[in-house]
Amino acid sequence: MKVAVWDTYVTKKDGNVMHFDIIAPQEIRDTNIIYGYGKDYLKTKAQDGQALTSKECSFCHIETLRPQWEEEINKKGYFILEMENC
């Protein structure tokens, strides 16, 4: 399976910037769905309500599914790769 990587930078409520990737099957091209995944993730970090639009989240590249992502993608439809300030 190939997955799309969406590079995401969201300003947190404290002013710091979170950097994470939203990883979803490459067939999902609807940005509303991708942003919805990001917003669901932000809720888990007590950052709901923060802006998540094309300004904060953009398609980066396609890559091969990694085994450590597969279970969560099969369960939730996406995987979040936390990078900075998450």
**Per-residue confidence band for 2, with pLDDT thresholds at 50, 70 and 90:** very high
Mean pLDDT across the chain: 96
Q: 3.40.50.2300, 3.30.910.10, 1.10.10.10, 3.10.510.10: which CATH number matches 21-84? A: 3.10.510.10
Question: Residue ranges per domain, the chain?
Answer: 21-84
DSSP line for 49-70: TS--STTTEEEEEEEEPPHHHH
Q: With pLDDT > 90 as the criterion, what percentage of the chain qualifies?
A: 99
Tell me the whole-structure pTM to 2 decimals: 0.95
* pLDDT for res 78: 98
Question: Residue 72: what residue type?
Answer: E
Mean local confidence (pLDDT), 68-78: 96
Written as one string, the DSSP assignment of 15-41 is S-EEEEEEEEETT---HHHHHHHHHHH
Q: pLDDT digits over 23-40, tens only? A: 999 999 999 999 999 999
CA distance 14 to 66: 33
